[in-house]
Structure 1
Amino acid sequence: MKKLYNDNLSNVPLSQLNDNVDEKLRDVFISPKICKMRRGKRAFEKTDKPVTQYKDVFLTDDTENRRIFLQGETGSGKTTFLAKMALDWCKESHMCSAKGNISHIFADLDVVQGFMFVFHITLKHSVKQFDVNTMIKKQIIDSIYAREDRKKAYILVNEIMKRERCLVLLDGLDEWTGPGDHHNLPTLVVDHSKCVMLFSTRPWTLAVGKIKHSEIGALLQLEGINKPFEFSRILLSRRVSKEDLNIKYAAFKHYIENQKLEKLLSSPMFLSTIVCSYADGIELNGSKCELYILLLESLFKKANLETRRFEQPPFPCFTGTKYIQPNIEHMNRLAELAFNLLFENAKENSLVFSNTELENFALTSGIVSATHNAFTVRSASFYMFIHFSIQEFLAAYHIARNTNLIDGVISVYLNRHKDANRDIAEVFTFMCGLEVVGAERLSSMMNERNALNDDSSCVFCDIIQEGYREAVANGHTNMSPKLSHFYIDMLNMKDLQSIWANNTANALSLCVDNDMETYANDDSASNMKIDLSLCSKLKILTLKGNGILIKGKYPIHVLLLSLPLLFIRYEVHCIFLF
């Protein structure tokens, strides 16, 4: 098993742009930013307790957690962290930086090595299965032993799991679907009660409420990496000469600050794309769409070296590309498949190719991966996009080219699925960067659903804000997404104030928390301007802090009486503008 892990998990690609160039994980690993979540009355809440040692993962107040969840957004490093844990069990103990300094983060390897066995499972390869024992058989034992030896190994592993303390790492719960019965999680049999399970997942999987709080022994939040610029230097050191490293690194930091890309650097996936593209002389402006187009450029190049530029790029982010145009028909058909898989077909279904040429292109380019399907009598392959976010981008691209789908298939999807707004959040963000008119229409439909559900309003407000930022990064500065419930603080005030200006008349609730000790009486981003006379539908108003400017011809109590408010609370020094 250790040989299997060392063969399959010990190397990681430097960049999503080129899977062929990889490095030993221990040479490029840098400490992840993980914190503990605490159980609140209605939901888990983030704490300021960092997790820097394995004992913090497995123990809470000296009590071992039996079922642990590690949640993080796409590309935050969940898969890498679980791979590191499996390798640490294999005594791959010298995790160090490029400078050769041994890391003190997650250095207590005795905690992981205290388990008799560590079983590393990739859940997207075990869709429709719920029994962890079956997953171990299919993914691990069948990969180690020839057919005639497997039966003995099955029996042995079962006996070990009955008697010994083992760790089961289950990577990608958000990409797993159960058999359709009452199983919302992969499960261990009662007889294996000494085993510990650790799941990695995207946050929405836990947010939808299918997993009970009682099923969560401990919840950890992975927010990327602690020292993104240090990681950038490590990656650059693999791409430029030692003599040029200091100059290139200083120039890279200046580039990041000028382009305001800092917020993307906490994600290892985005950071590696930005760093490696920069090392190759390609500079970005903060757009997610540009990042994914860059990624597709590199993938398409693997399948077809022909180059040709667009005379009229279909969307701004396509400008300057040269490998996409010769492959645009393949991209369009893959985008349609991505859309169908996301919005029309069951989540567990794999891609189905009816065209051999498209299948060959998808596999050759690396945009699609294939694994052996162990559940068929005859040899067959199971196809999937290399990353779920790639599928989401291509689905958004297909919608941008066919905006009639918004009032058709997507409308049906929104009405059919309770958590549809969360499910398509990334698709919406990409849409904002590609086709702003369609994105505005989609935001209106999503907002209609959200206006009826106050519990998810804060989350939806974040979704709209992310979409707006993506639109601006792609030159769509006049985008007017729809939003009824506003939750505004110092960090999002600039963006949401612009969105508020176009939604004032239809806003249902407004919560402004400008908790700052000092403020300037000017047009800075720290001041929130509210014209209450235009808020004809406002029912909930909460104002807190300083620098909130109220516009109106009457005293505030007169203005408030004129509104259909059901709830109001304000602790604010107001400045009236007449």
Structure 2
Amino acid sequence: MFEDKGVFKRTDKQVTQYKGVFLTDDNVNRRIFLQGEAGSGKTTFLSKLALDWCGEPHDISASDNSSLFFSDIDVLQSFVFVFHITLRNSVKQFDVYTLIKQQIIDSIYSQEDREKAYKLVNEIMKREQCLILLDGLDEWTGPGDHHNLPTLVVDHSKCVMLFSTRPWKLTVVKITDLDRYTSVQLEGVNKPFELSRLILGRLVDKDDLELKYSAFEHYIEKQKLGNLLSSPMMLSAIVCSFAEGVELKGSKCEIYILLLESLFKKANSEMRTFEQPPFPCFTETQYIQPNIDTLNRLAELAFHLLFVNAKENSLVFSISELRKFKLDEKEQKEFALQSGILSSARNAALLRPSSSFSFIHLSMQEFLAAYHISRNTDLVDGVISVYLNRQREAYCDISQVFIFLCGLDVTCAEKLSSMMDERHALSKTVHWYYACDFQSIILAGHREVVANGHNETFLRLSTFEFNQQISNTNDLHRIWTNNAANVISLEVKALFDYSASQMDLSLCRKLKRLVLIGDRHRDGILLKGNYTIKVFVCKVNSVYITNKVHAMCLYWAYKLNHD
């Protein structure tokens, strides 16, 4: 990634070796961000890195050169120690050395030996180059003061910190000294069909593999599921469901229902279908209905943790939270743990040892929260509205909940999109560069709406950017058509193939910001109408305008020329 006015953007450079992560021109990168969306494999990548440093052998089943990816383990050997930290378990702590003491040393040594270990690790970190893996920056809140990132003390300046995070977090932490940071983006599975074939080979007879794999490729193309295969979690669910004869249509909700089904089956094999399923994606399920009461309690817990609880208790929580929703009872608690929806860890304590709990994955917690909202739509105007008002970037961190909501209850999602768009517009007003990519969130929500059988949606978006990185311009243009009257910002780049998209600016009665970036090798940006003015700004060649927006465009032409 490269930094541009406070925002990390993609480059065309693919990273396939550890040196591409840790070195720039043979100089060590001291602060590194590994960005990736939910389920893209960030935690798995950090675990693999730690295992490679330990020298653990890996079973390479593929016959080609895939084993060459991240094979330069010698780069890792330059680190004397690797410390793996899970940030969700210490959301208020900012000092990395204290994190290492609490999460690693205290779990290895007895009380009598810890002081010696503390001193030893401190001396090592002063003198040697160590690697600290900090997993889940987006799940970390900080102490609420000026510390917006976990930090090292000055004496430990030789150490390297590698953070994994969802991209939205980097837009709100207000990183300083950006030249000292390196960022890479994890996009998921590099060769999804090869991995699909490997997984399929474990699920079907060897003699049937080639025929099944050929049918799988055709199925993915027919159902247009290719964009989901980059996520390891999604890929596994799609392949396993195909092996069992279940065909998907591209809905994330549908896939998470399958994941939920497989987890419920582990804890209770009783089967029963819904006579009246609460949502369409529940229609073919067999193991959810017998456990619907537990599901509803878990969903209420998931929502409460994300939207009501303090941030530091939203992901890792105690038995008291289970007690609030009657999940502490033996039968309910055992079901949640045996199914794997919840995991439990023992907290070390001298006087009263206790257990902490968390959901199997943040995205599963977000899906369950969206399910609870869909069953209680008044929460949008109530609890969620209050949540969004707490902090400026709150609308960014609920993006996955919003996308799931689009697949469950489109009317509720439309209302939430309007509230989120209002906050996004305010954030843009403060600083145009530090707001998250809200357009991508709305696009993902739109695709989820369509995948769940809804032909029309009115998701709100008032800031548009048409450029060459948009994968489906038809989707964005449909959203534009429904939002033109509310648009306050429009950016159009000539490299974007907008030939099939007619944009009538006379509909944009609230437009406050217009950015046109043309291309000297092409015809520029043409906005057709009755009047013509020449604008030689930002490589824009010609602008043709309509009578209704003549004065507005003339003003922008004047302003751009003088700026």
Scaled by the length of structure 2, the TM-score of the pair is 0.87
Aligned to 1:13: none
Q: How does 1:414-433 map to 2 (within 5 A)?
A: 414-433=388-407
**Separation (CA, whole Å) in 2 of partners of 1:157 and 1:453:** 43
Aligned to 1:129: 93
Q: How does 1:442-457 map to 2 (within 5 A)?
A: 442-454=416-428, 455=432
Q: Which runs of 5+ in 2 are unaligned?
A: 533-543, 559-563
Q: Which runs of 5+ in 1 are unaligned?
A: 1-36, 520-525, 570-578
Query: Is 1:474 the counterpart of 2:443 in the alignment?
Result: no
- Contact kept, 8 Å, 2:392 with 2:423, in 1: the verdict is no
Structure 1 residue identity aligned to 2:23 = L
Aligned to 1:367: 341
Q: Which has the higher strand share?
A: 1
Deviation track 1:29-76 (CA, whole Å, cap 9, x = no partner) reads xxxxxxxx1232332222222212111211112211112111111111
**Separation (CA, whole Å) in 2 of partners of 1:527 and 1:152:** 69
**Separation (CA, whole Å) in 1 of partners of 2:4 and 2:145:** 29
Aligned to 2:157: 193
Aligned to 2:166: 202
Structure 2 residue identity aligned to 1:340 = H
By how many angstroms is 1:216 displaced?
4.8
Q: Which has the higher helix share?
A: 2
- Contact kept, 8 Å, 1:530 with 1:549, in 2: the verdict is no
Structure 2 residue identity aligned to 1:48 = D
**Separation (CA, whole Å) in 1 of partners of 2:365 and 2:442:** 20
By how many angstroms is 1:554 displaced?
7.8
User: Secondary structure in 2 aligned to 1:284?
Assistant: coil
By how many angstroms is 1:265 displaced?
1.0
Deviation track 1:462-495 (CA, whole Å, cap 9, x = no partner) reads 2111111100100111111122222234633211
Deviation track 1:343-379 (CA, whole Å, cap 9, x = no partner) reads 1111211341112233332212211111122367311
- Contact kept, 8 Å, 2:407 with 2:452, in 1: the verdict is yes
User: Secondary structure in 1 aligned to 2:322?
Assistant: coil
Q: CA 1:73 to 1:116, structure 2 compared with 1: closer, same or farther past 3 Å?
A: same
Aligned to 1:290: 254
User: Secondary structure in 1 aligned to 2:302?
Assistant: helix
Aligned to 1:163: 127
Structure 2 residue identity aligned to 1:178 = G
Query: Is 1:377 the counterpart of 2:351 in the alignment?
Result: yes
**Separation (CA, whole Å) in 2 of partners of 1:426 and 1:41:** 26
Query: Is 1:401 the counterpart of 2:375 in the alignment?
Result: yes
Q: How does 1:229-308 map to 2 (within 5 A)?
A: 229-308=193-272
Q: CA 1:539 to 1:136, structure 2 compared with 1: closer, same or farther past 3 Å?
A: closer
- Contact kept, 8 Å, 1:363 with 1:369, in 2: the verdict is yes
Aligned to 1:464: 442
**Separation (CA, whole Å) in 2 of partners of 1:181 and 1:215:** 23
Query: Is 1:493 the counterpart of 2:473 in the alignment?
Result: yes
Partner of residue 306 from structure 2, selected from 334, 342, 347: 342
Query: Is 1:353 the counterpart of 2:322 in the alignment?
Result: yes
**Separation (CA, whole Å) in 2 of partners of 1:435 and 1:516:** 32
Aligned to 1:61: 25
Which one is further off, 111-120 or 86-95? 86-95
**Separation (CA, whole Å) in 2 of partners of 1:317 and 1:548:** 43
- Contact kept, 8 Å, 1:301 with 1:323, in 2: the verdict is yes
- Contact kept, 8 Å, 1:486 with 1:510, in 2: the verdict is yes
**Separation (CA, whole Å) in 2 of partners of 1:558 and 1:385:** 55
- Contact kept, 8 Å, 1:529 with 1:549, in 2: the verdict is no
Deviation track 1:120-177 (CA, whole Å, cap 9, x = no partner) reads 2222223333332333333333444455544433333233222222211111122223
Partner of residue 559 from structure 1, selected from 533, 547, 557: 547
Aligned to 1:574: none
Q: CA 1:417 to 1:191, structure 2 compared with 1: closer, same or farther past 3 Å?
A: same
Which one is further off, 389-398 or 146-155? 146-155
**Separation (CA, whole Å) in 1 of partners of 2:69 and 2:394:** 38
Q: CA 1:457 to 1:485, structure 2 compared with 1: closer, same or farther past 3 Å?
A: farther
Q: Percent identity?
A: 64
**Separation (CA, whole Å) in 2 of partners of 1:513 and 1:44:** 19
**Separation (CA, whole Å) in 2 of partners of 1:539 and 1:186:** 38
Query: Is 1:505 the counterpart of 2:485 in the alignment?
Result: yes
Count of residue pairs the alignment pairs up: 526
Query: Is 1:120 the counterpart of 2:109 in the alignment?
Result: no
User: Secondary structure in 2 aligned to 1:169?
Assistant: strand
By how many angstroms is 1:184 displaced?
2.4
Q: CA 1:460 to 1:214, structure 2 compared with 1: closer, same or farther past 3 Å?
A: closer
**Separation (CA, whole Å) in 1 of partners of 2:551 and 2:472:** 26
- Contact kept, 8 Å, 2:466 with 2:496, in 1: the verdict is no
Scaled by the length of structure 1, the TM-score of the pair is 0.84
**Separation (CA, whole Å) in 2 of partners of 1:506 and 1:563:** 19
User: Secondary structure in 1 aligned to 2:67?
Assistant: coil
User: Secondary structure in 1 aligned to 2:125?
Assistant: helix
**Separation (CA, whole Å) in 1 of partners of 2:118 and 2:549:** 73
User: Secondary structure in 2 aligned to 1:486?
Assistant: strand
Structure 2 residue identity aligned to 1:538 = L
- Contact kept, 8 Å, 1:529 with 1:548, in 2: the verdict is no
Deviation track 1:102-125 (CA, whole Å, cap 9, x = no partner) reads 711111111101211212222222
Q: CA 1:395 to 1:504, structure 2 compared with 1: closer, same or farther past 3 Å?
A: same
**Separation (CA, whole Å) in 1 of partners of 2:453 and 2:462:** 25
By how many angstroms is 1:394 displaced?
1.0
